[in-house]
Structure 1
Amino acid sequence: MPRLIALGNNICHALDARTGAKPTLGTPTDIGRADNILHHDWTCTVASRPSLSSTPPTITAWGDDPLVGTLKAFDRPISRVIKTHDRPVAVLSQRRIHLPPDFAASGVEWDDVVATDLGPAVAFRRGDGVHRFPSLPDLYTGTNGVRLSHPFLHDEVTLAASEARVLLLSGAHVLELVFDARGGSGSGAEPRLVVLDAFEGLGVERVSGAPGNRFAAISAAGEGFVLDALGGVEVVRVRGGGVGDEEEAGDDDGDGDDEVADLALGGGFELVLVDAGAVWARGDSKSCLLVESLTPDAFGQLGLEGPRADAWTRVPVDGRVLALHAGRMSSLLVVADSDND
């Protein structure tokens, strides 16, 4: 089973829940094993561990979030933890939404669900398309929804959300949902979908939301992209053991670049995993960055102002990293178990 390496803010024990754990993990710290990280942010972490029999994976959760105890008692497979304001607020399990405190199942089935901090929630159902709702409770009951239409919508859609934005990955197209968040279902203009032209033709395969209304994307060719809050797109390329953006690459055609296997964005920092298993980090010291060389002040992880480290720095981790997970002020690295490689 893979190991978990933790870095950053641990003030709510979302990284290391052991008694006496430090409030800040400034160096990579082994915190145990988990099979699949379902959610990670500063209040808690939710993961699944495979069962020894044919029963569903065991759900495990740790941290100071009030929902941790209830989540640990959830005995069904979870396909997505739905979050707002960095906290889990519901889960999608067996195509139904389960809301706390009793986690009763919704009467309507969905294949994917996301929610924003502003209120609006979005859901996708195969054969029925994408629907926008004024709030997660409306989505749970299936009321006040608006079905969205666009020529690029296909039968397989993946949703991603940040505080105030929702992106849809449909085929190789990335679309953004434009909506009026000022009030209920009757206020403002109707929600609509617009194509993000910057991603057209790039073959994007994965999109994930991040703090600060940013998104990470990865293409089939192994290129990583950072979509900032203003719509700008940075291309992240890894070359010769280091990392460089497209501007530094100049007119190079990209030959010799290492493929980006994973990309995770926090609240002002970025992590990139290359196909060789190495991790590189970039960001500012106020945002939880990870490595002591990037966070000279001991409590930079807690939001204090500090200089931004624009250069990429190698994260010293023993073993081959398989995946990255970033919260607003912390990170988890999934590392292959050397005993079972």
Structure 2
Amino acid sequence: MPNRFVVALAYDRLSTFEFGIAVEIFGLPRPEMGPDWYRFAVCAIEPGPLRAVGGFQITADGGLELLDEADTIVIPGWRGAHAEPVPPALVEALRLAHERGARLMSICSGVFALAATGLLSGRRATTHWHHVENLSRLYPDVIVEPDVLYVDEGRVLTSAGSAAGIDLCLHVVRTDFGPEIANRLARRLVVPPHREGGQAQFIERPVPPAREGLRFAPLFDRMRARLGEEQPVARLAAEAGMSVRTFLRRFKAATGLPPGEWLLAERLARARELLESTGWSIEDIAGATGFGSAATLRHHFRTRLGTSPAAYRSRFAPERARATDPAGFKKQKAAPRGG
């Protein structure tokens, strides 16, 4: 595995939460993950003492010379976001590391330090929604994606605000070690095993009123249980006890997505799991997840994930993938996507 040595940057007025994400994912000993787990070090970009937000100090393992050896470099939220200049020595060290083949990833406002290197020029990137406007203004050559959790541009990766850094780090683990290890780590962290990078950063009303919560929670469960079926909006609205107009408004307020987009995301998630854990044919998986045909499934895989179902299975399915049903899945007849 080519990205074992992970180095996280540290500096005065360090963003504590974002730095903690890097430590939690890459820096803790995890013997249960096998002998090839990450090695981790903290790089001070300047002389100490280095104070982190919250009143404590960071003791680093070394200086910028650590970046000469790093396979992956994590840039936590940058101090002062866009208002704080990035030291030229750090800019040069990051550029050289990238030229050498290192993978660079930023969390939240860490994107400003990454953008200062010029490595995001012409590339897609994201950051916390609060910083999107300033990122676009300061770096107009960056293709800013304002409504996603993270962006993977190969050896340059960026995440949105704070907790989205967890999603990005788990995505990296998934890429390096496969879905089984990433899911096991997510269980240790008590977080969802995989949130798609294109998911919206925030929703209009994250916690719906109690009455709506009672209506939507069981509806979500039923929708997931019948992904292979057509699910027209009129039917869903009736099940929720709302008019179609009210249902559409409240569904989007509760999830951040229209019903059709929510169903598509759930169907893709189910298809990925079946590709990872079974030996079913692409056609069978398309039918079980509501895409109706292998061609439709391939289209949405290519559009949303930038790959094909076969390539995804080749990359992520363990060798022991079974031809039997995984727990909780049953084959269903192919049906139009609906919703």
TM-score where L is the length of structure 2: 0.29
Higher RCO (C-alpha 8 Å, min separation 6): 1
Structure 1 or 2, whichever has the larger Rg, is 2
Is the helix fraction higher in 1 or 2?
2
TM-score where L is the length of structure 1: 0.29
Is the strand fraction higher in 1 or 2?
1
